[in-house]
Chains A and B, each alone.
Chain A
Amino acid sequence: MMLAAEVTMCAGRFLLVVALAGVASVASAHHGSAISYDLSKQVTLTGVVTEWVWKNPHCFVLFEVTDEQGKAVAWGAETHPTTFLVRNEVKGVPVPLSATSIKPGDRVTVTLFPSRVGAPRGLLARLADAEGKVLLDDGETRTNRRPAAQ
């Protein structure tokens, strides 16, 4: 799915990957925010969780990424409602998420569809923990569970 260049902006600390088109599907973000994201691009970031908000209408993760100048940038990525994530699957294997799936201090790698206005916010496409275990992958899974794009 990652079609384009991978740009390392700060070795080992801030990884930026921009993928052009080729996006397999669109994650749910009905609650007035979907229009704010550029669904033709993906950005991958590695950072440290500051907050995992397990709430409706959409769960979201806030995480801190250190940019190439060494400055901490507060990012956020939203995902599905809790009722979807409790029966989350990755490649057909159940990976039920909960309020404690990730916690502040955890190192995560997040792939997201970025905000159109350049804000450090996005729609979550993929989430992996420090060991590389994929906790959520909307690129190829859950297509039959996702709310219709209305």
Chain B
Amino acid sequence: MMAKRGRIGGQPPSSGAGQTGMEQRTRILVITAVAVLLVVPPGVSAQARGWRPGNRSLTTAEEREAAAKARTIPFRPRDLSGVWGLGTNGFNLDQRTVPPMTSAGKEKYDAAKPGLGPRGVPLGNDPLMICDPLGYPRSFTYNYGMEFIETPGRMLQFFEWGHTWRTIWTDGRPLPTDVDEPRWYGYAVGRWDGDTFVVESTGFDERSWLDQDGHPHSGAMRLVERYRRTAADAMEVTITLTDPETYTQPWVTKTTLRLNPLAEIGEYFCVPSDEEIFRQKMREPAGGVARP
């Protein structure tokens, strides 16, 4: 819409005098068209571009068609922008490569009571159930979709779960050796190594779980992530987690994420008051807690 306005605005000014009837009609039509463009609601405008109002609004058929079309478009390896992994809920850390835990790590792991998986118990203590921030890397492994957004000096990861983002500084600053206070999403810096985007992060708040199974980490955890776009719709990801207070060796997870062209990150907040209603009316009764 802006481009059209710009082109119209760039027309040579007319004196008005001496216009033919055709010129006047043309002028009226142009003014009318501009007026229509200016008053069209954003939702309608979005529809014209292939979007529809609402969250995550593509149907399966539309999603498939957009993905097929995207694969035919040349891509720049250093362009990671877009929504990745929508609908697949990210991916889990590799449960086959979990390193041996230290005694401190084992103690925290045993205290974690997940609500899913082989260690799952009803009414566990997953921090997710009280809407604590997921933290990182759990947000990467559990997000309902993640979008990379590049801005000068920063790369942002925008997550549907929590409608939150993680800042990755790309302005050349070094990774801090002493982060002022623990952060749920840590402190991250990124750089390009060839066509691989490398992210290093530290300064994590140890209260978050790494995954649905309740694997723990300490404040000493460091992450190295490597992102490489290998095709228009594919990105290889390697996450190396090092936390000597919790694990005796680095924990490496590799996966490939798929691009979701035209997809839209929805707004999924974990709202404490809504969660309380869910707890009272569904989770606790289903788990055997009797309520009057």
A interface residues, Cβ below 8 angstroms from B: 30-37, 53, 55-58, 60, 62, 76, 78, 81-84, 86-87, 89, 92, 94, 96, 115-117, 119-122, 144-150
Contacts and interface: CB of A to CB of B under 8 A. Distances in A.
B14 to A, nearest CB: 48
Contact of A89 (B59, B142, B213, B268): B59
A123 to B, nearest CB: 8
A117 B287 CA distance: 7
Given A31-B128, A53-B281, A144-B87, A150 B61 contact: no
Nearest to A122: B286
A32 B283 CA distance: 7
Given A86-B266, A87-B54, A119-B286, 14 more contacts: A31-B283, A32-B124, A37-B286, A56-B269, A56-B270, A56-B275, A58-B278, A60-B278, A78-B282, A83-B160, A86-B56, A115-B285, A147-B142, A150-B117
A122 B56 CA distance: 26
B91 interface: yes
Residue with the highest number of chain A CB atoms closer than 10 Å, among B212, B286, B287 = B286
B57 interface: yes
A150 to B, nearest CB: 4
B71 to A, nearest CB: 17
Interface string B56-72: 11111100000000000
B278 A35 contact: no
Interface residues of B, number: 49
A150 B211 contact: yes
Contacts of A76: 281-282, 285-286
Given A83-B144, A83-B267, A92-B61, A31 B278 contact: yes
B288 A32 contact: no
B283 A117 contact: no
Contacts, number: 144
A57 B275 contact: yes
Contact of B281 (A62, A82, A87, A89): A62
B131 to A, nearest CB: 8
Contacts of B54: 86-87, 96
The 6 A-B residue pairs whose C-beta atoms are closest, nearest first, are: A147-B89, A32-B115, A83-B266, A121-B286, A35-B120, A117-B288
B239 to A, nearest CB: 16
Given A56-B269, A60-B278, A76-B281, A147 B287 contact: no
B116 A35 contact: yes
A35 B117 CA distance: 8
Max count, chain B CB within 10 A of own CB: residue among A32, A55, A147: A32
A146 B90 CA distance: 11
Nearest to A62: B281
B92 A150 contact: yes
B124 to A, nearest CB: 6
B277 interface: yes
B10 to A, nearest CB: 40
Contacts of B120: 34-35
Contact of B283 (A33, A86, A122): A33
B50 interface: no
Contact of B89 (A31, A34, A148): A148
B139 to A, nearest CB: 13
